Amino acid sequence: MIASTRFLAVTTVIALSGCTYNDGRPNQTATGAVIGGATGAALGKVIGNDTQSTVIGAGIGAAVGGAIGANMARQERELNQQLAGSGAVITNTGSELRVILPEGVTFATGSATVATGFLPALREVARSLKTYTNSTVLVVGHTDNVGSVAYNKKLSQDRALAVARILIRDGVPSTRITYSGLGFSEPIASNATAAGRAENRRVEVVITPTN
C-alpha cells in the first residue's frame, strides 16, 4: 500500500508538470489524464488493494481522462470557430466547457425571448452537443442586481428555460439538459458599474463530460 501511494504521488507530480502550456494556458488533455489517473488508482485499490491493481487502475484512468480532455479541447476549438462573431464566449475549465451568452446579443432588456439573430449561434451549440454526446448540459441564467430578488430570479430562470428549449428543439435530448436561474447571486463583475452589470447579465451553457 505504501509503495502504491508513493507511485501515485510521483506520477501525479510528473503529470502535473505537463498540465500547462508554455504560455500558461491549461493543457486539458494532461489535466484530464491527472484526474483520470487519480480516480483510476483509487478504483484499483478498491478492486485489488495492492500495488499492481493501483498501477493498472491509474494507467486506465489516465488514458480515459486524457481522452476526455482531448475531446473537450477539440469541442472548444470547434465551438470557437462556429460561434466566431456571435458574441458568445467559450471557457474550458479543465472539467467542463462553459458557453457564455451575454444578454446584449441573446435577449432584449428585461425579455426572456431569445433574439432571432442569435438563433443560428444556438443552432451551432446544439450541433456541437449532438456531435459530442457524452456530456450533461446545465443551462444557467444570471442577472445584474437592478430590481428585486424575486424579479431577477424569475427572469434568470425564464431565460435559462428559453435557451434550454431551443437546444432541445434543435435536437439535443431533453434527458441531457437541466436549467436553473440564479438571479444576481453569482456575479462575475462589479454591479457598481454599467459595464460590470452588462457582464453579469448572461446565460451559461455548462457542458460536463460524463465519460
Domains of the chain, start order: 2-73 (no CATH), 83-209 (3.30.1330.60)
Radius of gyration of the chain (CA): 20
pTM across the whole model: 0.72
pLDDT tens, 147-157?
A: 999 999 999 99
Q: Which residue has the higher pLDDT, 40 or 5?
A: 40
Residue 143 near residue 189 (C-beta atoms within 8 A): no
- Three-state SS at 143: coil
Task: Please report how the helices 2-16 and 51-82 are oriented relative to each other, as an axis angle in degrees rounded to 10.
Answer: 20
Task: Please report how the helices 51-82 and 28-48 are oriented relative to each other, as an axis angle in degrees rounded to 10.
Answer: 150
> How much is the average pLDDT of 11-21?
44
User: What pLDDT shows up at residue 64?
Assistant: 55
pLDDT tens, 86-136?
A: 999 999 999 999 999 999 999 999 999 999 999 999 999 999 999 999 999
User: What pLDDT shows up at residue 10?
Assistant: 38
pLDDT tens, 118-130?
A: 999 999 999 999 9
Average pLDDT, the chain: 82
The pLDDT confidence band at residue 36, using thresholds 50, 70 and 90, is low
Quick check: 146 pLDDT over 90?
yes
